[in-house]
Structure 1
């Protein structure tokens, strides 16, 4: 995308303050979304090993199938940010931006909703899918109970993501954060009541997450409707009318985002399956490392989502220098945080691993040792992981998503996983080798994303 050069919107320090103010509520929203899943994991662990294993199978399939709708919902953010940025232009150039914002939001609702229809069909028959993937029949049937309940909350979740993009574009993301916090607080007693006293078990856990997602959408809509500034947008006005032209733009931006998400989710899912070749201890150690890395990843991911809004706002306003500055500031913030996390994981890996384990378990020492080793490897790729996700967010602000998708395919599947398998087996590194491969792939993607941002941000200023 070419953006006409314009006056800088703020200095570097001001941009850092604005990015932090926007990203912190988004980061906490991401962490609260993760907390919903962790809450149910803890409850189902008390229900029994089979219930916990079945829910993990269902959740893995759930998130893989969520990717198309989620990616298209995320595509709303750069479109909304650029529309608002254009609304800041003086004179007639900025007119009609409220209507364009409504149309962009409506198009994202439609695109995400249509993408979810085939996903629903697969989740409804998830037992057959899981059996075809070689999973135990009893666990597959139990996983289907969770999936059939949880799937009804997916449209609401994607709708919430679209509205979160709107709030970020309007630089008012705190509402989404408080709604997410409330959902976590209410999900714990609701899930407990449905799983245990109501006797719904795994189905109750899926129903609780569906109700939590639905509640987040409804409450966010109510808050937007009651806000004096936001109600004029009438975001649900004529929502039954598909915005065909805008929907094409959502698809053009969002489908590569969805594909990138599938590539990343898929490579870590494949790594989990490969870990099974090395035994149960390797799988448990991998779970420790991946959960820890996922938690630290939520912060740069939130910064990247803020970067999408900040870059999009500047680009829409024709401020090329401001767009470039917003991207570089966000990348620096993400890299700085992940550098700190790298030191923490490398130096504190044994203690972190034991947080996930019962010291009375006969296999705990073996799992802790391997988990600590994997956390050290994860520590070394924290910086690359942070840079790639923030750079991808900045590129989305300029609607650049296709080339980053290709980078993900090359880094994760073309290099990362094959190299991991090579050093795990031929190199004799075992489970650590898989993570060395994943880290290498992430580092390559980070380098490519950084180079892409440097080129495209300069091109935009030309």
Structure 2
């Protein structure tokens, strides 16, 4: 089938839910496989000891906070690509304008992400100094820097993979990215084990294996785009060395608010990790367990939200506002249903999940497991809000509505959520669990605001 052929419409709510689920499935599995990269390394670092696990948590928290601007600009390609293809459908696929628009959006997003990553590299190279300035123990900060100095070389590849994955989603063929991610996980497990343990590289080895995995995923996806009969006609990487400044500016206009949301959301969890550091290595290790489990469940609604971006963008580009509304609300319902089931799972299975990350011979393992189980129960109670807010944000991105959601995130996470958490942790005396209660409050507020925004714009 030609890339520009108009596809059959999918009328009705049930059909839209099936279409969204079909598109979201491979994207969700891709997200889960990517979180599995970090999860397997966290499990391995937990076998090294509590300090190594805590250092890895601090390193990953700082890295993701600094990756957020580049990640957000890479994600900005998706609505631009989807709306361009939707416009091509509206015109019956005639002409090459929509093909050129998809190509320009993809290349501009690669450039924008690369620009945003430059300051992140500098800060991650000196991560120890950054973490010490944020009140972390010097020994933990030094171990964390070992990780970031290795892992930072994979960050451009990760952003490039996100841009090309968005292109595949807009083309409604996301399976290649999924299989590549599966392959990366399968290869990373023995590679990370070899680097961390037999090679004796410890935390540095964990960061190095992640960098290698990200580089391999990008290389594999580039091969797919270059070799596939339909994809290669877009010439996505042609003349990549020539910046398209008008389109790069458009990516920044759409993408900077997305980056802002990511900075605010990732930043608040990173700030929570740093606040845990004030309570010692046990609290940081328990936080690492809870955040890894919550991140794993979050990957599913995040993938549904990415599918919503594509489905809403395709409908809007094709002039079908009713279809865009169905796509968004169907995605929200799917995300909410999944996260409700995960809430029950985290609450009921919290002790088992916590112990899965720990070596029973570690003298502090029981203390970490007890606190980790408590945090997992709290995480269970904010699953629904977390899922709804990320899916609604994805639907809004399909409309290229990104600035107001950024303001919602600032209000919910930083003005209300984090201050409530810190107040509960310190003056109120609840300690680490208080911080997580505050995170839950922030997520619930953002979810409500995102839903109201989507209802207003999609009606």
**Residue in 2 aligned with 1:29?**
30
**Residue in 2 aligned with 1:117?**
118
Question: Are 1:179 and 2:180 an aligned pair?
Answer: yes
Contact kept, 8 Å, 1:407 with 1:449, in 2: the verdict is yes
Contact kept, 8 Å, 1:88 with 1:94, in 2: the verdict is no
Deviates more, 1:374-383 or 1:208-217: 374-383
The secondary structure found in structure 2 opposite 1:85 is helix
Deviates more, 1:240-249 or 1:49-58: 49-58
Question: Are 1:55 and 2:56 an aligned pair?
Answer: yes
State how far apart, in whole Å, the 1-side matches of 2:139 and 2:361 are: 29
Shift in alpha-carbon separation, 1:70–1:414, aligned structure 2, 3 A: same
Shift in alpha-carbon separation, 1:127–1:431, aligned structure 2, 3 A: closer
Question: Are 1:228 and 2:229 an aligned pair?
Answer: yes
Deviates more, 1:205-214 or 1:192-201: 192-201
What does residue range 359-378 of structure 1 map to in structure 2 within 5 Å? 359=360, 361=362, 363-378=364-379
What does residue range 7-406 of structure 1 map to in structure 2 within 5 Å? 9-47=10-48, 50-90=51-91, 95-278=96-279, 280-359=281-360, 361=362, 363-406=364-407
State how far apart, in whole Å, the 2-side matches of 1:196 and 1:373 are: 31
Contact kept, 8 Å, 2:59 with 2:148, in 1: the verdict is yes
Show structure 2 runs of 5+ residues with no match.
Answer: 1-7
State how far apart, in whole Å, the 1-side matches of 2:357 and 2:196 are: 23
Deviates more, 1:57-66 or 1:232-241: 57-66
Over aligned residue pairs, what C-alpha RMSD do you find?
2.3
**Residue in 2 aligned with 1:3?**
none
User: What is the deviation of 1:104?
Assistant: 0.8
The secondary structure found in structure 1 opposite 2:349 is helix
Shift in alpha-carbon separation, 1:167–1:386, aligned structure 2, 3 A: same
User: What is the deviation of 1:63?
Assistant: 1.3
User: What is the deviation of 1:271?
Assistant: 2.0
Deviates more, 1:206-215 or 1:220-229: 206-215
The secondary structure found in structure 2 opposite 1:312 is helix
Shift in alpha-carbon separation, 1:246–1:272, aligned structure 2, 3 A: same
User: What is the deviation of 1:154?
Assistant: 1.1
The secondary structure found in structure 2 opposite 1:261 is helix
User: What is the deviation of 1:47?
Assistant: 4.7
User: What is the deviation of 1:359?
Assistant: 4.6
State how far apart, in whole Å, the 1-side matches of 2:277 and 2:403 are: 33
Deviates more, 1:15-24 or 1:51-60: 51-60
The secondary structure found in structure 1 opposite 2:300 is helix
Deviates more, 1:213-222 or 1:426-435: 426-435
State how far apart, in whole Å, the 2-side matches of 1:325 and 1:348 are: 35
Encode CA deviations 1:374-416: one digit per residue, 9 max, x unaligned. Answer: 3222222111111100000000000111100000010011111
Q: Please, what TM-score do these two structures have when normalized by structure 1?
A: 0.91
Encode CA deviations 1:266-320: one digit per residue, 9 max, x unaligned. Answer: 2122222333444554444333322221111111111001101110111111110
User: What is the deviation of 1:236?
Assistant: 0.6
Contact kept, 8 Å, 2:62 with 2:270, in 1: the verdict is no
Contact kept, 8 Å, 2:57 with 2:288, in 1: the verdict is no
User: What is the deviation of 1:14?
Assistant: 1.0
Shift in alpha-carbon separation, 1:378–1:57, aligned structure 2, 3 A: closer
Deviates more, 1:85-94 or 1:262-271: 85-94
State how far apart, in whole Å, the 2-side matches of 1:421 and 1:137 are: 23
Shift in alpha-carbon separation, 1:226–1:289, aligned structure 2, 3 A: same
**Residue in 1 aligned with 2:413?**
412
Encode CA deviations 1:15-47: one digit per residue, 9 max, x unaligned. Answer: 111111111111111111111112223334445
Q: Please, what TM-score do these two structures have when normalized by structure 2?
A: 0.92
The secondary structure found in structure 1 opposite 2:229 is coil
